[in-house]
Amino acid sequence: MAENGEEKLLAMARHIARTLGHNDDTMADDILQIFSNFDGRFSRDKLTDLDDPRPSASLQLSINSLDRQISQYVASDHPIWADSADSSAFLDSVDELIATIREWTPLAAADKSVSTCLVRADELLQQSMFRLEDEFRSLMERGGQSFELSESTGNLSFDSDDDEDEGVIGNGENHHQIPVAQPISEYDIVIDALPSATINDLSEIAKRMVTAGFGKECSHVYSSCRREFLEESISRLGLQKLSIEEVHKMPWQEIEEQIERWVKATNLALRILFPSERRLCDRVFFGLSSAADLSFMEVCRGSSIQLLNFADAIAIGSRSPERLFKVLDLFETLRDLMPEFESVFSDQYCLVLRNEAVTIWKRLGEAIRGIFMELENLIRRDPAKAAVPGGGLHPITRYVMNYLRAACRSRQTLEQVFEKDSSSSLSVQMSWIMELLESNLEVKSKIYRDPALCSVFMINNGRYIVQKVNNSELGSLLGEDWIRKHNAKVRQYHSNYQRSSWNKILGILKVENSSSSAPNGAAARSMKEKLKLFNLSFDEICKTQTPWVIFDEQFREELKNSVIKILLPAYGNFIGKFQNIPEIGKHPDRLIKYVVEDVEARINELFQGNVAPAGGGRK
């Protein structure tokens, strides 16, 4: 009987609610809520008319039940994922809510009450997603902290080379110690940046958020956390975050240091950090390829742009020849890492990063070609003002030849660079620079008024050029014909020297047969005059040429021996004839300043690069 009375009471309450709210489902629902709050017998489950013919009745019942289940977790002050049972129950409720919305959405257009219920369901879903977003962020942060403190980071963290005591900052206060890395010799390493259990939890949350249409929000939370980790990892290598303008204002010495760090950081990023982030994205967003690709791009974009912008700043900066070798380092690093760019940034979201890497790599190639053009201009502009003392090696010759030899150590890279420019090749470029250098040296040789010294200058510089070309990559580029041709040029300079220095003396020593038989002592007077003239000329040459320089010791000896070879026989023959002329007198040796050995000794003193020794003839 009591049960029958309670049933009548419940029926009356339902009737009142329907009557007062017959035009407004929300009002009816509010009235039922008032009854439920007034008397425990009027619970929402009991008051809801299971026989209500409206389609929204069962939907409303489901939403009410899900609201109670979900709200207790949404309002909780404690992390849901601190308890596996709570997290599992919360995800089950979210799954049911998503399924309910998906099931009833097709009916919303035809039934206003269903549409009203779905609005409430969407609000509940949004609250659930906000809480899932918070839980996702909390798991990311807690997981990252546990990884940083684990032993696995001991050999995977990288510090800069600046200071040994990086853990001590300021006035000796101990701050967070950055783990010190062992040197990396191989890059086949993948970092599991989060514990596996955390990754599984994140994956479960990501599935719900993407399914509910909150994939971008999930990706944003993920990328903001991982981006910070990635940027910190790169900054530990000492690579500064610089704009292109800031790079252009830096002294070259500082830029060189930054390039060394850039090479290290870029290899680390492309071979270890980025692949590890790709793997982590794929695990967290397993089965959600679009979300994984978007998240990965957002994580790596900032660090990638930082690395590429620095290389771009160098590529569009000064083309000073001294920069060649560091620009080659940048070019070779990007070239060698291009397969990694292709594989790691293979999805549609990363296409712009991949294309930018290729563009900057090509721009570095253009910079290298531009540096060689600037080297040509440097040679052309080098002034022919002051002569090098003693006809020695000119600084421009030493600079250019050592520069080209060093550059040719990267021959394969340079050939690749010049292949991009169909108008030239590396061998053509080198030949052209050598031609410019030789033309410049010929102009500089004209500064010397003495033709012999002009020849000595060309001997020194020509000999140095050939030596630097021989047995080097530069020589293989220029070819054997080039080397033979320039050896012949050096020999020609040698001949020019002998002709301009010693032909006149050889002419003095030449004795005509007719003069030896001349009457009245004419032969004696002629021979005495010739001897006197020889002594004067020989002394003058020795005085002048002793301070001259032949830098190559072997060639210096060859040059002196060649002079000895032509001069001593002529002088010996002359002295012999001089001594046999009767009119000379009984003691002809008194008139001879130099014996043959003295002449040889004086010749051996040539090209010492210092002041001529005192004395001269025999003692």
pLDDT in tens, 346-389: 988 999 999 999 999 999 999 999 999 999 999 999 888 888 99
Distance between CA atoms of residues 583 and 586, nearest Å:
9
Token couple for 392: 């020695």
Cα dihedral across residues 320, 322, 324, 327: positive or negative: negative
Residue with tokens 């290899």: 267
Give 271's DSSP letter.
Answer: I
In this predicted structure, the answer to whether residue 178 has a pLDDT above a threshold of 60 is no
How many residues are recorded in the chain?
Answer: 619
3-state secondary structure of 594: coil
Q: What is the pTM of this model?
A: 0.77
3-state secondary structure of 610: coil
Using alpha carbons only, how large is the chain's radius of gyration in Å?
Answer: 47
Comparison of pLDDT for 444 and 18, the residue scoring more: 444
Q: Give the DSSP H/E element, type plus range, for residue 545.
A: helix 522-545
pLDDT at position 164, please?
A: 39
Share of the chain above pLDDT 90, in %: 57
pLDDT band at 142 (very low <50, low <70, confident <90, very high): confident
The rounded Cα 606 to chain-centroid distance in angstroms is 51
Distance between CA atoms of residues 612 and 619, nearest Å:
17
Q: Give the DSSP H/E element, type plus range, for residue 169.
A: strand 168-169
Cα dihedral across residues 522, 525, 527, 533: positive or negative: negative
pLDDT at position 39, please?
A: 58
- Residue 261: which of 229, 236, 243 has the closest Cα? 236
Q: Report, as an integer, the average pLDDT of 261-267.
A: 95
pLDDT at position 200, please?
A: 93
Residue with tokens 């994580």: 299
Q: Is 397 exposed, middle or buried (0-12, 13-18, 19+ CB in 10 A)?
A: buried
Token couple for 164: 């040994």
- Residue 551: which of 384, 391, 385 has the closest Cα? 391
Comparison of pLDDT for 250 and 117, the residue scoring more: 250
Cα dihedral across residues 130, 132, 138, 143: positive or negative: negative
Give 177's DSSP letter.
Answer: P
| pLDDT tens readout for residues 273-303 | 999 999 999 999 999 989 999 999 999 999 9
The neighbour count for residue 10, using CB atoms within 10 Å, is 17
pLDDT at position 136, please?
A: 94
In this predicted structure, the answer to whether residue 308 has a pLDDT above a threshold of 70 is yes
Distance between CA atoms of residues 459 and 447, nearest Å:
15
pLDDT at position 180, please?
A: 37
Side chain identity, residue 393: L
pLDDT at position 565, please?
A: 95
In this predicted structure, the answer to whether residue 514 has a pLDDT above a threshold of 60 is no
Contact 208, 91 (CB under 8 A): yes
Number of Cα atoms under 13 Å in the Cβ half of residue 260? 9
Token couple for 136: 């996702």
The rounded Cα 398 to chain-centroid distance in angstroms is 28
Please report the DSSP string for 180-202 in residue order. Answer: PPPPPS--------S-HHHHHHH
Distance between CA atoms of residues 15 and 285, nearest Å:
50
Comparison of pLDDT for 110 and 22, the residue scoring more: 110
Q: Is 611 exposed, middle or buried (0-12, 13-18, 19+ CB in 10 A)?
A: exposed
Contact 538, 594 (CB under 8 A): yes
Residues 6+ apart with CB under 8 A from 106: none
Distance between CA atoms of residues 431 and 421, nearest Å:
16
